[in-house]
Amino acid sequence: MKPATGKLGVMTVGLGAVSTTFITGVLMARKGLAKPIGALTQYDKIRVGHGVEKKYLPMGEIISLAQLNDIVFGAWDVYPANAFESAVEAEVLRAKDILPVEDELKAIRPIPAAFDHNYAKRLDGNNVKDCATRWEMVEALREDIRRFKSENGVDRIVVLWAASTEVYVPVDKAVHYHLADLEAAMKADDRERIAPSMCYAYAALSEGCPFVMGAPNTTIDIPAMWELAEKTKMPIAGKDFKTGQTLVKSGFSPIIGTRCLGLNGWFSTNILGNRDGLVLDEPANFHTKEVSKLSTLESILRAEDQPDLYTNYYHKVRINYYPPRGDDKEGWDNIDIFGWMGYPMQVKINFLCRDSILAAPLCLDLVLLIDAAARDGRYGTQRFLSFYLKAPQHDYTQGEVPINHLYQQYTHLKNAIREMGGYEADEEID
């Protein structure tokens, strides 16, 4: 692996609650005023070696990771407010956790966004690019990346989507399966099948930047984008940050499966009042999220593996916009299970969480680890990062089933860290 020398630019798409919480936390941590709790890259220790050679090391001692002091932040957003103003508006963090880095936050002014109102009808920002076609969006974004790199003296850049969920874009073989077709559709300004997020991903990869999709958008879940990642030798990861309810689901459903208990139904509902909740209040945008959240359970508790236990269970997901709650999200799960002789039982889970507080450490880990992957010469879909994501990328054209089981994902993550550090990938994913 090439060492993490020089500055790492992190360009976020979106400068809302998640991004400003992430940025503020990093700025505070490098001043010694806060701790990056929840970030595995900063806290986790992984075993390497066996027997007398066995030792547990932090990730940063196994592989070369960029240091917090070497990160330079930039962003695009549809609203012109700087990072300080956005952080205050988001009402996630207290004043005492923002004011010590006020000047640094104010210096982060969002670049006008590549935006299409039809993809997020609840947003009405005016800090947007005036692009006639999707291809012009791509070219403008590429220029933004080049300018940011030059003006900030960074050696490499990671682009992280932390913006809103777009309306659902079904995969269309005529446009999304081959890179040439995708490019032709961009140049023809196909606004129905080319989402703005695809322009960001295309621009990032074309400029030699790894790309992370933190929303459930189709963006890089298409063979054409996989082809571009292969062509540019850049890593990609997605999709949708796994923060609250899906984290619980991917961790608790293995308990049911491991114990060989049956499942009749799993009903999940959420209330939240941040910008993400506002966007998801639009049915077309919610459908994108619904597809992402529903995919988790079905790949863990599979009827083909245990037909007596997991045939025809009912799985429902709901998200409700509730402004008074702000970023303090609440998730309720009602789980109907059955056991010996088919007798029914229930499990209730009530998770009162802070959406952006859970997402911020994921942003840090994903940025640092995909940068490490790029320096290690890894490109294309980075499946080892599925630990952090709701709907892991997988090659559905070949019938591949994604790994959603949290503990299997963690094993995959640890094995990848070992391999990049020159150790043996020595844990089986059962």
Condensed to tens digits (0 to 9), the pLDDT of residues 372-408 reads: 999 999 999 999 999 999 999 999 999 998 999 999 9
Q: Name the DSSP class of 376.
A: T
Average pLDDT over every residue of 9-28:
98
pTM attached to this predicted model: 0.94
3-state secondary structure 182-222: HHHHHHCCCCCCCCHHHHHHHHHHHCCCCEEECCCCCCCCC
Q: Which residue do the tokens 């088919």 mark?
A: 342
- 293 pLDDT above the threshold of 70: no
- 289 pLDDT above the threshold of 80: no
Confidence of residue 370 (pLDDT cuts 50, 70, 90): very high
Confidence of residue 231 (pLDDT cuts 50, 70, 90): very high
Name the nearest CA neighbour of 138 among 178, 196, 214, 225.
Answer: 196
pLDDT tens digits, residue range 99-158?
A: 999 999 999 999 999 999 999 988 889 999 999 999 999 999 999 999 999 999 999 999
- 207 pLDDT above the threshold of 70: yes
- 25 pLDDT above the threshold of 70: yes
Give whole-number Cα distances, 339 to 21, 62, 253, 344, 346, in Å: 43, 44, 15, 7, 11
Q: Regarding predicted confidence, which is higher, 421 or 287?
A: 421
Tell me what pLDDT residue 23 has.
Answer: 98
Confidence of residue 292 (pLDDT cuts 50, 70, 90): low
d(CA 10, CA 83): 14
Give the β-pairing of 8-13 and 71-77: parallel
Name the nearest CA neighbour of 199 among 16, 392, 13.
Answer: 13
Return mean pLDDT, the chain: 95
- 49 pLDDT above the threshold of 90: yes
Name the nearest CA neighbour of 138 among 90, 185, 71.
Answer: 185
pLDDT tens digits, residue range 305-346?
A: 999 999 999 999 998 999 998 889 899 999 999 999 999 999
d(CA 157, CA 336): 46
